[in-house]
Structure 1
Amino acid sequence: MPDKDRAPGTDHTDAADRAALRADCGNCFGLCCVALTLTRSADFAVNKDAGKPCHNLQDDFRCGIHTRLRSEGFPGCTVYDCFGAGQKVSGETFGGRDWRTAPDTAQQMFQVFPVVRRLHELLWYLTEAVSLVEARSLHGVIRRALDATERLTHLDADALAALDVAAHRDEVAALLARTSELVRATVPRKKKRSHRGGDLIAARLGGADLRGADLRGAYLIAADLSGADLRRADLIGADFRDADLSGADLTGALFLTQSQLNAARGNGATRLPDSLGRPAHWEK
């Protein structure tokens, strides 16, 4: 993206730091296909208990229908993002021992995987936060939180299993909220109504000026956001399932993830942050 199209106030130096926070399925033991519970719904074609391998998981830990997940009734799998936790747990925490050839590792591996996944998600947000120049007054404390979270991901399996990840997440969440406030305060808006946790299901927001809006945890399922301006909007935890982002401007949106985009609909005119990719199922 040319410099003139970059969102103001953003330091685009975090690409390398985020590389390890992207899923590398080729170096994972198919943990998301085993450790997680699947509930038969519009997202998953079958019920599956946690700890039981999905019937589509092959002997090489690859998905047998990876290129056909949506057509086969598993769109939820295309939305899920482990933020690189899969390869971390497989290669580092358990030293390359997989749950099939070392079944004694299975129970603890499946217990640890979601813990590391939550930590990696926090790393994603903190890496973004420390790049936001409007929040420079918090950069010192953000870096300390980033380093502390990174250290937690390198704990051994026993320590990770015992970790109170919810308490750590709450501390980081408070810091991210302060970061958001500083950034959004720089956006000139006549009215800054908060939609935090709001019910915006199927809302008609096409073309809306949502710059700097607080949409943390908002339910935007099937909402029409086509052509909306979401620059500097706080989108952490917002539910974009089946939301229409066609032509929307998400450059500089705060705490947006690939998973959120994968759950939504969009097209070639949708403008995205440099750190995220255009989902394959979107219209051209």
Structure 2
Amino acid sequence: MSTPAPELRADCGNCFGLCCVALAFTRSADFARDKKAGEPCGHLGGDHRCGIHATLRDDGYSGCTVYDCFGAGQQLSQVTFAGQDWRDAPDRGQAMFAGLPVMRQLHELLWYLRGTLALNAAAEVHPAAAAARDRVAGLTRLGAADLLALDVAAERAAVNEVLLRASALVRTRAVRRPRNRRGADLIGARMKGADLRAADLRGAYLIGADLRDADLRLADLIGADLRDADLRGADLTGALFVTRTQLHAARGDARTRIPAGLDRPAHWAH
């Protein structure tokens, strides 16, 4: 995947802490306390910054370190709502909070489409990917009311057709008959050193899976659940549609090879 454009990376300095207010938290191993949707987190300061950002994992908020808005926060804050602080809005930000998950999904689609356009082996679907990118980018500039009325599921379905075609082209050119584990229940599976080159792992449940030293080059990982998966020493070079959220939810080390354009999680072992 290519290095994402700045607009697809979270810029908290140009956001009004929307994820710290709009989203609901359930007390668990990922969050130290319950929080209702629309309720500001107790650690959110008046400057819209997190008061414990540097120690989130130590303080029991590892879930916050995994979340990625793909730049939706600043788009809503600065474009959709023209820089108006939710605290000053007549509805106290309810429209902004409702719009965050919609905008996030649109930005996530843009992430996948930009990655598709960087895949040389998928050149024949580039025109369709470019058209989809332009259409979705236009939707991110809708006004608040139109954004909330948008049929996001239909947009995801349309984009998914392009992504499926691109994935098939890339993987079948790399491996004649790539393995199909789409949606597979691989929770806790022991796959140390497994050859998963160009495998279809879309939507696979890899929670807690042992993928140490596994070969995941060019594997399609869109929607795969990698929470607590052990990626130490694994090779994800060229893996398709990997997100920051997936990597931060997994475990890795200095030997783990990650797709271009993604940052190595700070909490991974060195």
TM range, normalised to the smaller chain? over 0.9
Q: Residue type matched to 1:37 in 2? A: A
Q: Which one-letter code corresponds to 1:83 in the other structure?
A: F
Q: What secondary structure sits across from 1:97 in the alignment?
A: coil
Tell me, in whole angstroms, the C-alpha distance in 1 between the residues paired with 2:88 and 2:6: 29
AA of the residue aligned to 1:159:
D
Amino acid at match of 1:277: D
Shift of 1:188: 2.5
Query: What's 1:4 paired with?
Result: none
Q: Which one-letter code corresponds to 2:143 in the other structure?
A: D
Counterpart pick for 2:247 among 252, 261, 271:
261
2: CA distance, partners of 1:89 / 1:97:
10
State the partner residue of 1:27. 14
**Which residue of the other structure, out of 256, 264, 269, is the alignment partner of 1:278?**
264
Counterpart selection for 2:147 from 147, 151, 160: 160
Checking the alignment, whether the CA contact within 8 Å between 2:203 and 2:225 is kept in structure 1 is yes
Q: Which residue pairs with 2:49 in the alignment?
A: 62
- Give the Cα separation in 1 of the matches to 2:265 and 2:35: 26
> 3-state SS of the aligned residue for 1:62?
coil
Instruction: For 1:28 and 1:161, locate their aligned partners in 2 and report how far apart those are by CA, in whole Å.
Output: 19
The alignment yields a C-alpha RMSD, in angstroms, of 1.2
- Structure 1 residue 105: Cα displacement: 5.4
Is residue 176 of structure 1 aligned with residue 163 of structure 2? yes
Q: How many residues align?
A: 270
* CA distance in 1: counterparts of 2:126 and 2:147, whole angstroms: 27
Partner of 1:239: 225
1:101 aligns with 2:101: no
Q: Is the contact between residue 56 and residue 62 of structure 2 (CA under 8 Å) also seen in structure 1?
A: yes
Query: Deviations for 1:216-251, whole angstroms, at most 9, x for unmatched residues?
Result: 000101111111111110000001111111111111
Partner of 2:105: 118
Question: Quick one: percent identity of the two aligned structures?
Answer: 61
> Which of residues 121, 124, 128 in structure 2 aligns to 1:137?
124
Could you say what secondary structure the match of 2:109 adopts?
helix
Structure 2 counterpart of 1:148: 135
Q: Distance in 2 between matches of 1:125 and 1:105?
A: 33
Residue 235 of structure 2 aligns to which amino acid in structure 1? D
What is the CA–CA distance in structure 1 between the aligned matches of 2:218 and 2:165, rounded to whole Å?
14
Task: Provide, for residues 46-90 of structure 1, a one-character-per-residue CA deviation record: whole Å limited to 9, x for no partner.
Answer: 111111111111111011111111111111100000000001100
Classify 1:105/1:160 alpha carbon distance in 2 versus 1 (closer, same or farther; 3 Å). Answer: farther
1:12-51 alignment, distance < 5 Å? 14-15=2-3, 18-51=5-38
Identify which range, 172-181 or 103-112, moves more after superposition.
Answer: 103-112
- Alpha-carbon separation, structure 2, partners of 1:123 and 1:20: 10
Cα separation, 1, equivalents of 2:218 and 2:44: 39
What's the offset of the Cα at 1:264?
A: 0.4
Shift of 1:26: 1.1
User: For residue 30 of structure 1, what is the amino acid of its counterpart?
Assistant: G
Unaligned runs of 5+ in 1: 1-9
- The C-alpha deviation readout for 1:198-222, integer Å capped at 9, x for no partner, is 1101111111111000000001011
The residue number in structure 2 matching 1:7 is none
Q: In structure 1, what is the equivalent of residue 181 of structure 2?
A: 195
Distance 2:7 2:39 in 1: 27
Alpha-carbon shift at residue 103 of structure 1 (Å):
4.1
User: Which letter maps to 2:257?
Assistant: R
Q: Does 1:71 align with 2:58?
A: yes
Shift of 1:104: 2.6
State the SS of the aligned residue for 2:223: coil
CA distance in 1, matches of 2:261, 2:146: 31
Normalising by structure 1, what TM-score?
A: 0.92
Deviations 1:110-159 (A, max 9, x none): 11111110000000000000111111111111100010000000111111
Aligned residue in 1 for 2:192? 206
What CA distance in whole angstroms lies between the structure 2 residues aligned with 1:156 and 1:108? 11
